[in-house]
Amino acid sequence: MLFVLLINVLIVGAGYGLIAMAFALMSSVSPFFNMTLGSIIAFGAYGAYALMNMLGISPFVAIPLSVIFCALISAVLEYFVFTPLRKKGASSMVLLVASLGLYTIFEAIIHLIFGPQYQILGSVSSQNLNFGNFSIPKVQLITIFVDIIVFGFLYFLLTHTFLGKLVRAVKSNAGLSKIIGINNNRVILIVSCLSGIILGTSGVLTGYDTGMEPTMGFNLLFKGIIAAIIGGTGNISGPFLGAFFLSFAENIGVMIWASEWRDLVAFVIFIIFLIFRPQGIFEKKEP
């Protein structure tokens, strides 16, 4: 039973983790609740669906194309919407409202093109790998694997590369980084491309595993944000581990009480962290 619970925690946590890491990465350089990140998840799933099911393109071509499309959309939004707003001195609240408006538009566009009904990508998800009398679908193993790879990649990028230094500089003090000659907007643009890739990948994996509908992005993003806040957005380990913590709490809630308390458990933890430890589990309190 415990083994099964741990497997569930890993599967769900890996899904949350990708979104949490993308959110943490993005909010480190552009600190506001960017709701369009939810749209990017849906674009990833529906992009792959359109290419594979409507145009008959092979998944090996369709999935990378869809992920690249997500990176492009993310960059275009940053370049044409959020950067100009930031230049005009827009507050975080204005940016949040703008992103919420865009999210609503994107959801309506997906709804118009693909219809409101639930869809699922391909049939890969139905292929299971058996471990004795326990089986796990391939797509869920891939999700866990991708989550770990993305974590490793982001950890290396942020701690061992020049781009990582730039990101940390912008995050630490955007004004000062500008004074020393860092092009903040370019750093934000690169980061939005990266988060677009991660979110697009997450969308494709979700499309294979639990399917898609136009409203899918919002709920997934919300869980990702909670995971990022629980873990702490200061370094990339926070959202990665926070996602598993959230998944563990939710699954324990389902096992002990009932499924309807799942969201309650998540939100109670979220509120507790916001009040008592807003910096998250894995980040030290600022002096």
Cβ proximity to another protein, 108 vs 113, nearer residue:
108
Closest CA to 49 of 36, 35, 65: 65
Binding mask 76-95 for another protein (x = CB under 8 A): --------------------
201 belongs to the binding site for another protein (CB under 8 A): no
Q: Which of residues 131-150 bind another protein (CB under 8 A)?
A: 135-137
Cβ proximity to another protein, 122 vs 164, nearer residue:
122
What radius of gyration do the chain's Cα atoms show?
A: 19
115 belongs to the binding site for another protein (CB under 8 A): yes
Structure tokens at 25: 């990465």
Cβ proximity to another protein, 36 vs 125, nearer residue:
125
Cβ proximity to another protein, 97 vs 254, nearer residue:
254
Residue with tokens 């589990």: 281
| Least distance in angstroms from the C-beta of 147 to another protein | 15
Q: Which of residues 207-246 bind another protein (CB under 8 A)?
A: 210-211, 213-215, 219-220
Determine which residue in the list 91, 92, 126, 159 makes contact with another protein, applying CB under 8 A.
Answer: 126
| Least distance in angstroms from the C-beta of 258 to another protein | 5
Q: Are 234 and 171 in contact (CB under 8 A)?
A: no
Cβ proximity to another protein, 262 vs 277, nearer residue:
262
Cβ proximity to another protein, 62 vs 174, nearer residue:
62
4 belongs to the binding site for another protein (CB under 8 A): yes
| Least distance in angstroms from the C-beta of 135 to another protein | 7
Residue with tokens 């957005």: 233
How far apart are alpha carbons 145 and 135 in whole angstroms?
17
| Least distance in angstroms from the C-beta of 131 to another protein | 13
Closest CA to 237 of 282, 170, 284: 282
How far apart are alpha carbons 279 and 257 in whole angstroms?
29
How far apart are alpha carbons 70 and 201 in whole angstroms?
9
How far apart are alpha carbons 96 and 115 in whole angstroms?
27
| Least distance in angstroms from the C-beta of 210 to another protein | 4
Coil, strand or helix at 137: strand
Q: Are 152 and 164 in contact (CB under 8 A)?
A: no
125 belongs to the binding site for another protein (CB under 8 A): yes
254 belongs to the binding site for another protein (CB under 8 A): yes
Determine which residue in the list 1, 179, 180, 275 makes contact with another protein, applying CB under 8 A.
Answer: 1
The torsion angles phi and psi of 134, rounded to 5 degrees, stand at -115, 135
CA distances from 26 to 44, 163, 175, 228 (A): 17, 14, 17, 11
Alpha-carbon 48 to chain mean position? 17
Q: Using CB under 8 A, list all residues that contact another protein.
A: 1, 4-5, 8, 11-12, 108, 111, 115-123, 125-126, 128, 135-137, 206, 210-211, 213-215, 219-220, 251, 254-255, 258-260, 262-263
